[in-house]
Chains A and B, each alone.
Chain A
Amino acid sequence: MSTIGTFDGFTAARLGIYAAQQGLQVTGNNISNINTSGYTRQRLDQVSLKTGGADMYRSMMDNHIGNGTLVTSINQIRDPYLDIRYRNTASEVGYSDTMLRGLKGIASILDEVAKGDNKDGLLYAQIKDLADCLSRLGSDPCKDNDTLARKSAEALCSLFNTYAGKLETLYQNTKTGFKQDLTSVNEILTNIRNLNESIRNAEICGDKALELRDERNRQIDSLSEYMQIKVEYTMEDIGAGKQIEKLTISLGNANPDSKVHTDETVLIDGVYGAQLSMPEKKPLPNPKATDDGFLYLKRKLDQDGNEVFDVNGNPVYEGTNKLSEAEQIDNDNYTLVVSRLYDSKHHQPKDPTVNEGHPVALDDNDLYGALQATRELLTEKGEFSTAADVALDENATIKRGILYYQKSLDLLAQKFAEQYNKLNQGYIFNQEGNCIDADGNELMLAGIDGVEAPVNVKSGLTELQKQNLIANGFIQKDIHGNPVLDKDGNQIADINSWLEGHGGVLAQGSGVLFSNRNDGDKTGDPTDPTNPLISASNISVSHSWSTGDVKVVPTCEVLFSEDGTPLPNTTQVENVNHMISLIEQSLVYDPKELDPDAVGSKLFVGCFNDMFSNMSTVEGNDERSTNIELNDSYTTLTDVDTNRMGVSGVDLNDEAMNMITFQKAYSAACRLMTVIDSVLDRLINNTGITV
């Protein structure tokens, strides 16, 4: 029989009361925080208390009885696996949600479903309205109808300008939003770093800092919406045999290119944290920069000072940290840089292995989440991507951001203006269809065999004439001076350039209908920055058309002009008919016509209306698929969050049960104390006393 401590029972009762009281406090805390965002359910950890050990008088007949209960700690209940799933899914939601918002912004400008008179659209209907006006001009080529066509063209130009302006505003707003997002991300990173520091200090003092952990988890959840992250908890030895928990957050290895490792860059390492920034000038992607700062990219030059290209014809860059202003390349890819790690006192970690102690310029696909979605909205050009873009991201040609739609609209406006300007600058021909000079004499063009023949616009050039033109460099060129090729890749003869230098005469009233400013007739020169090419933002009715010096040329046909007075043909409209046909004509929209460096060769083949409709169709399909992705990932996120709440959330039924349990335990412990008191009273005051 073991030794009985006289007051042991009181201790057990006291500990029971104490534990039940703490249990009620924890329950109360849980109930109070039932609506607190990010709160993790807390639980009382109790152990049975056993004092002493085997004593020298201990008998095998002894029965050991515990001394009550001890509250060892208050813990949070979390499932790390659910946290990982939640944060991965949150980055998917962040990406889809941001992308969807951007696409909806584009759709609000370009999507013309149910817009306009009779719900026929705006720009879409205006193209047809111009065709309508041209048809009227075709049925009666009078001045009034020319004015009508001009007014319609002005309305069309105005719509192009408006749409381009809205897209530019959207772009600038998105850019501003991107910078704000960067600020938010940096705030979160700072908060996490500071929380880490507070938690560390608390832990050193033996406090688990559960509420700080909740806040940190909330911040990490927020961060995961902006970018895919990897969260790790390790134990850090702080000396004297004491270890405390250390949190490390790094990028979540989002880059599909396994050779790239910048997508594992550390953002938070315990009490040290980095910041994200977007330099104005393009930083060197890899290798990592030196201590002096970032290396910047510049075009590599050979000994003669000529720009160097690789075997694929792509420009070669080299890094430098001494870059003149002129040599600096704009950071148009919105490359982000992760800074060195600093603590709250701006000290760097002693361990230089993290990020090798350098800032890191991130690769194009290192991020995945809201930030990356905004970057893609700002940088992705789809078929207009250059070789350099594809080198950064092999999927660049199938990713389409605001730039894609801006460039598509520009290409449409440019093509539209180019085609109509060309038609309105035709060379005169006689009743036989043969091009003539100012005296009415037929112009003769030799074939490659040297045999001359008239230049007939009705039957077209002979094959031999075409060969001769091509052999002598009279070929069709795009606005940048590059040869235009047919579907078989052959050069195309250009009779107009030949006629220009061989006596051809432009039809009366001919000239450009569209220009890059409405106070002039310029159509742009790619080599002159002050004379931009026609685009959606600047397309205008030419000054000469608006003043009447140029009109829509009804016909280039001049009848019997040999004797100096041609027969009038005031209602012949063969040229207007070309213009009417052009509206429905299938044209090839080649991104290279807008940007010679573009890798895409055929954006779309179709008429003007179809090209515009295609832009909305592409956007609509992207928006639709993104919406599906968002719904899918959001459903998953909610499911994971519900599961996470199932583990970490407060449940009123649970807490009610706990409340009853602790209440009963408290009552029972009190009762125990009463009983023991009664027993001791009997033992002390009433034992051995005879009355």
Chain B
Amino acid sequence: MIRATTGGVMLNYRRNLMNSFIGMSNAHNTILTQRNFNSYAEDPASAAKAFKLRKSRMSVETQYTICGDTFHKYETAFASLQSIDEVLDTKTSEHMKTLSGTTLTELNDPTGDARQQLTKVLDQMSEMLVQNLNQKYGENFIFAGADGHNVPFEIKNNQLYYRGVSVDAAEPEVVTNFGTTNKVTADNGDYIPASAATINQAAFDALDPAEQGEYVHYQVVTENGQEDRYVLASDTISEDDYNTAKTEADKLKYLANEKYFVDIGLGFQENENGQLIESSGFNASLVGINFFGYGKDEDGDPKNIYSIVQKLKDISARVHDGENWTNEDYDEFFRLTGKLETASSKFKTEFTDMAAGTDKLENNLELLENNYDNLVEQYGDMEDADMVESITSFIWAQYCYNAALKVGNSVLSQSLMDYLS
């Protein structure tokens, strides 16, 4: 600069004073807002990242709520199942409070004095088990799979129904040609149950004509080749009945595997077909029939605990107080007691699996809490001002501003004019 003028110096001073004031104001704002930035423009990258972290935190908050709700639902379910488990328990000393104890008492009762009472106990216990599985959490039925707004279990005519489907529904086993799944139809168009008694041509020919009229002919391919056989017409099953039974069995099978997923922070993502990747959600569906059993086993006996107990009850009800078992009844009762143990064992397995699910939810809650804390800390590190640094900066800015003011006072007051006399 060749020449410094009063106006030029003042302009410079004004600009620098303003810069100094802006600096102090910014430092002041940082302390007041306790934030490193208050707009995207101040730090676009950090602002965008901080919002992403905040979004994650908001997701975690929701996931925590959902996970917490699901956990509480599982806790309630756990309590219900624990009550059932106690009723099924074979180890407790209070035999009359357990199903196994009651059945054992019945089996080992030499006089049969309390048989009718025990029958009632069995009936009440089975109903209590069903009531436990109709428990609600909030407004929803816990063990209803994906139909939480409706009562899942219903007893009609001593038959237990799950969501309107008999728990004992099973696809009838019918005769098929050897090596294939092709069902064999009798001459009347019906299917032949695999358990039905059938006779061959020779046996049929030996029957008198009146008896022959009760049979219906069918052809089947066995391992020995094609055979002509006969079955009682009353034993066959019509195609419609077969299809109805199969549909009911299919429904049970579907309902047993029914799932619905909630987002508890496992990723919750869909594949290219728009379907949820199952591992990214939590299956919150608790299906009552998985605990209680459904369908029939290879002996044609129900697998459902209620149905087994009802059968036991029916056998027990046939024998009056003080009477002895018939051998058949005793054997049947004994056999079904074994089935009950099997079903109870299955229940315990499912119960254990559910308990593991509860643990998973509890652990997940803890993880979400940690995740929440981490996220808050992460965006806090970006957004929140370091107060020590901020106050230091402010004091420095204030010092500079004061110095600028002081300099200004001397700059503006001094000139040659002041020394003229």
Cross-interface CB contact of B415 among A571, A572, A621, A656, cutoff 8 Å: A656
Which residue of chain A lies nearest to B50 when distances are taken between CB atoms in the complex? A113
Least Cβ distance of B73 to chain A in Å?
9
Which residue of chain B lies nearest to A620 when distances are taken between CB atoms in the complex? B40
Within 8 A of B (CB), among A591-630: 609-610, 613-614, 616-617, 619-621, 623-624, 627
Cross-interface CB contact of A567 among B2, B163, B274, cutoff 8 Å: B163
| Given contact pairs A624-B42, A646-B2, a sample of 15 additional A-B residue pairs in the complex whose CB atoms are under 8 Å apart | A124-B55, A128-B55, A128-B58, A135-B66, A140-B138, A569-B145, A569-B146, A577-B263, A578-B270, A581-B268, A581-B276, A617-B47, A650-B5, A653-B415, A653-B417
Least Cβ distance of B220 to chain A in Å?
30
Q: Are A568 and B40 in contact (CB under 8 A)?
A: no
Least Cβ distance of B390 to chain A in Å?
15
Q: How far is the CA of A585 from the CA of B272 in the complex (A)?
A: 11
22 inter-chain pairs at a CB distance below 8 angstroms, sorted by A residue, are A114-B33, A136-B65, A140-B148, A458-B273, A460-B273, A460-B274, A563-B247, A569-B258, A570-B149, A573-B261, A577-B261, A577-B276, A577-B281, A584-B268, A619-B40, A621-B40, A642-B1, A642-B11, A646-B8, A647-B2, A651-B6, A651-B8
Cross-interface CB contact of A641 among B11, B52, B150, cutoff 8 Å: B11
Least Cβ distance of B138 to chain A in Å?
7
Answer whether A654 and B5 are a contact pair too, CB < 8 Å, given A140-B140, A570-B150, A578-B274. yes
Contacts of B39 in A (CB 8 A): 107, 111, 113, 620, 623
Q: Does any Cβ of A come within 8 Å of B416's Cβ?
A: yes
Cross-interface CB contact of B148 among A570, A614, A642, A654, cutoff 8 Å: A570
Contacts of B35 in A (CB 8 A): 114
Contacts of B407 in A (CB 8 A): none
Contacts of B139 in A (CB 8 A): 140, 142
Q: How far is the CA of A573 from the CA of B251 in the complex (A)?
A: 19
Q: How far is the CA of A132 from the CA of B65 in the complex (A)?
A: 10
Answer whether A139 and B69 are a contact pair too, CB < 8 Å, given A570-B150, A574-B260. yes
Interface string of A100-127 (1 = CB under 8 A from B): 0001100100011110000111001100
Least Cβ distance of A637 to chain B in Å?
10
What are the 8 A-B residue pairs with the smallest beta carbon separation, nearest first? Answer: A620-B40, A645-B8, A460-B273, A649-B5, A571-B148, A656-B416, A570-B149, A623-B41
Q: How far is the CA of A119 from the CA of B36 in the complex (A)?
A: 14
Q: Are B416 and A653 in contact (CB under 8 A)?
A: yes
Which residue of chain A lies nearest to B40 when distances are taken between CB atoms in the complex? A620
Q: How far is the CA of A570 from the CA of B260 in the complex (A)?
A: 11
Within 8 A of B (CB), among A400-459: 431, 457-459
Q: How far is the CA of A245 from the CA of B417 in the complex (A)?
A: 37
Within 8 A of B (CB), among A323-373: none
Q: Does any Cβ of A come within 8 Å of B391's Cβ?
A: no
Q: Does any Cβ of B come within 8 Å of A580's Cβ?
A: yes
Cross-interface CB contact of B47 among A113, A559, A571, A642, cutoff 8 Å: A113
Contacts of B416 in A (CB 8 A): 652-653, 656-657
Q: Does any Cβ of B come within 8 Å of A643's Cβ?
A: yes
Q: Does any Cβ of B come within 8 Å of A638's Cβ?
A: yes
Contacts of B6 in A (CB 8 A): 34, 649-653
Q: Does any Cβ of A come within 8 Å of B44's Cβ?
A: yes
Within 8 A of A (CB), among B268-301: 268-270, 272-276, 281, 284
Q: Does any Cβ of A come within 8 Å of B164's Cβ?
A: yes
Contacts of B383 in A (CB 8 A): 119
Q: How far is the CA of A104 from the CA of B39 in the complex (A)?
A: 10
Which residue of chain A lies nearest to B271 when distances are taken between CB atoms in the complex? A460
Contacts of A617 in B (CB 8 A): 40, 44, 47-48
Interface string of B315-339 (1 = CB under 8 A from A): 0000000000000000000000000
Least Cβ distance of A559 to chain B in Å?
7
Q: Are B7 and A34 in contact (CB under 8 A)?
A: yes
Q: Are A646 and B3 in contact (CB under 8 A)?
A: yes
Q: Does any Cβ of A come within 8 Å of B59's Cβ?
A: yes
Q: Are B54 and A571 in contact (CB under 8 A)?
A: no
Q: Does any Cβ of A come within 8 Å of B102's Cβ?
A: no
Q: Are B276 and A567 in contact (CB under 8 A)?
A: no
Q: Are B51 and A613 in contact (CB under 8 A)?
A: yes
Contacts of A616 in B (CB 8 A): 40, 47-48
Q: How far is the CA of A641 from the CA of B288 in the complex (A)?
A: 86
Contacts of A649 in B (CB 8 A): 5-8
Least Cβ distance of B134 to chain A in Å?
15
Q: Does any Cβ of B come within 8 Å of A552's Cβ?
A: no
Cross-interface CB contact of B40 among A113, A139, A459, A641, cutoff 8 Å: A113
Q: How far is the CA of A614 from the CA of B51 in the complex (A)?
A: 11
Answer whether A131 and B62 are a contact pair too, CB < 8 Å, given A568-B147, A570-B147, A645-B8. yes
Contacts of A460 in B (CB 8 A): 272-274
